[in-house]
Structure 1
Amino acid sequence: MKPDIIVSAVQQPCNHDRQANLDFSIAKIHEAAAAKADLVVLPELHLGPYFCQNEDYNNFDLAQPIPGPATEILGNVAKKLEIVIVSTIFEKRAPGLYHNTAVVFDRDGRIAGKYRKMHIPDDPGFYEKYYFTPGDIGFKPIETSIGKLGVLVCWDQWFPEAARLMALAGADLLIYPTAIGWDPDDTQEEHQRQLNAWITIQRSHAVANGIPVVACNRIGFEAAPNSTAGIQFWGNSFIAGPQGEILTQADDSEVKLLTCRLDAARSERVRQIWPYLRDRRIDHYGNLTRRFID
């Protein structure tokens, strides 16, 4: 990573007007560039509402190829502003083959790389297995002009294995574009437990690997189709340092551009003080590749 970089994350609502969502994201990218940011992260599937609340084959019409219309626009923005952008797109790879894909644009506008979401949830209101094929690129950091970005997506953020593999492959920071929220019918106590767990697990990835974490979520209530139910996306986007310390954070409802400076030398120093990679007992971790130990 460069000696230090300025990182931004965009917390925004994602409404039904896809062009308005894209325009909003681009406006925030311009704000990030004006704040001298080297990198800006957008929420998961920021082009529209979270369509995975039900199973409807018509939603496959929302998918785009990569490269495609959205990547062309965002690539041009990255080049114009000389800023690295992380976006996630519903990728149409082939007829009947779709992915939830993060795309990284370098400062010159080219696609530096992509990451296809590996862990695919299938829960009430999050029927992603209907839409997304599990990723096949693996946990490989994306090389950019500002460093190696360990980009993962939403449900991936709960798995320490994914974060560790990105770190072992040389990631300078971990990035989690996200679309996660509450069931409004749950109690406030349950809401708080879920939010606390979400923040804690990602901060723990920073601690366990000695590198910063950028978590970027959407906000707002999105009703499920043909229903009064829906998801209240809980925002709370944050950027944490290599000891899990919160450097900047949004609340559960504000539109906000989070921006802070990350110091590569500090990450290196933290890893020297807390040498987890040195002390790993890799000779005894073979069972981690098993589903369960009976």
Structure 2
Amino acid sequence: MTHLRAGLVQQPAWPDKQKSLAASAEGIRALAADGARLVLLQELHATHYFCQTEDADLFDLAEPLDGPTTTCLAALAAELDIVIVGSIFERRAAGVYHNTAVVLDGKKGRVGHYRKMHIPDDPGFYEKFYFTPGDAAQQEGLGFTPVETSVGRLGILVCWDQWYPEAARLMALAGADILLYPTAIGWDPDEEGDENQRQLDAWTLIQRSHAVANGLPVMVANRTGHEAAPDQSSAGIRFWGGSFIAGPQGEFLEHAGEEPTTLITDISMARSEQIRRMWPYLRDRRVDAYGHLTRRYID
């Protein structure tokens, strides 16, 4: 495959799973009609972003790996004969829940999954209350392991993972053909001005830098719209959208604003080979000198 026609859906989401999934399905169908072979959805697209508060009753939103959301996406992938990367709040066992990306490949159904490795805990993003970090073992669906699909090896990382160059590099070293970041990030509506722009620019820049450092295309799907805090403890979150698809030198191929939309483009799958020949970062890595990267801090 020399070119991959790939797209993503940038949408608001609601507490009603059926309403949220209907919006996702509409975007998926539009992209497939335009020739997309790979479609990326945003983080936790089937519900509102429930992590704004700590509420044990919200664990009832969780599903098993092959629960209703995955079943819905699998049916779409089979009907349209495409690869879909979706997102679920996974109930793995009583008391063990994950933020999980699921990969559906046409009539094959679910061919893999990735459990979010880095879990934030910040005002409005209380994810450590809900999510167990993914296991570090290099097994299918675990750790930084790409998922093999009919369109290539997908290096899937989720939201907070996007700030860590180690995660992108390990996916690249494990043979990923493309990096994908389903995301839910936004602003405090009470904050305005230059700080908001700096946050958005930093978020965009770090992910484009992963494309550059690893010579890989990158797809980023973020949600959009305002979601109020359920307990009225804050003004909620205004998700900033800004989804994009970038080439292996970080160049924008498609870039969204803040409105609900879909993006689609043709990604050259041969370009990574060309770029890595010109910029051989992997060749010149000093793997003998990086031992301290496994330390928390070098005192």
TM-score by length of 2: 0.96
Counterpart code for 2:83: V
Q: What does 1:210-221 align with in structure 2 at a 5 Å threshold? A: 210-221=215-226
Residue matched to 2:196:
191
> How far did 1:121 drift?
0.1
Residue matched to 1:282:
287
Q: What does 1:5-154 align with in structure 2 at a 5 Å threshold? A: 5-136=4-135, 137-154=142-159
**Residue 187 of structure 2 is aligned to residue 182 of structure 1:** yes
Q: Is the 8 A contact 1:77 1:109 kept in 2?
A: no
Counterpart code for 1:128: E
Residue matched to 1:229:
235
Q: Match of 1:10, SS?
A: strand
> How far did 1:186 drift?
2.0
Residue matched to 1:268:
273
- Separation of aligned partners in 1, 2:192 and 2:32: 40
Instruction: Report the RMSD for the aligned CA atoms in angstroms.
Output: 0.8
- Structure 1 unmatched ranges of 5 or more: none
TM-score by length of 1: 0.98
- Separation of aligned partners in 1, 2:292 and 2:260: 44
- Separation of aligned partners in 1, 2:28 and 2:95: 33
How many residues end up aligned between the 2 structures? 292
Select 2:161's aligned residue among 156, 159, 163: 156
Q: Is the 8 A contact 1:76 1:109 kept in 2?
A: no
1:262-282 CA distance string (max 9 Å, x none): 111111101110000000000
- Structure 2 unmatched ranges of 5 or more: 136-141
> How far did 1:238 drift?
0.3
Q: Is the 8 A contact 2:4 2:266 kept in 1?
A: yes
Residue matched to 1:169:
174
Q: What does 1:198-213 align with in structure 2 at a 5 Å threshold? A: 198-213=203-218
Mean CA deviation greater in 46-55 or 222-231? 222-231
Counterpart code for 2:55: D
Q: Match of 1:198, SS?
A: helix
Identical aligned pairs, as a percentage? 62
Q: Is the 8 A contact 1:10 1:40 kept in 2?
A: yes
Mean CA deviation greater in 62-71 or 191-200? 62-71
- Separation of aligned partners in 2, 1:211 and 1:190: 30
1:226-257 CA distance string (max 9 Å, x none): 215200000000000000000001102x1111
> How far did 1:109 drift?
4.2
Which consecutive aligned stretches of 4+ in structure 1 deviate over 3 angstroms post-superposition?
none
**Residue 253 of structure 2 is aligned to residue 247 of structure 1:** yes
Counterpart code for 1:135: G
Q: Match of 1:13, SS?
A: coil
**Residue 252 of structure 2 is aligned to residue 238 of structure 1:** no
- Separation of aligned partners in 2, 1:61 and 1:265: 44
Q: Match of 1:276, SS?
A: coil
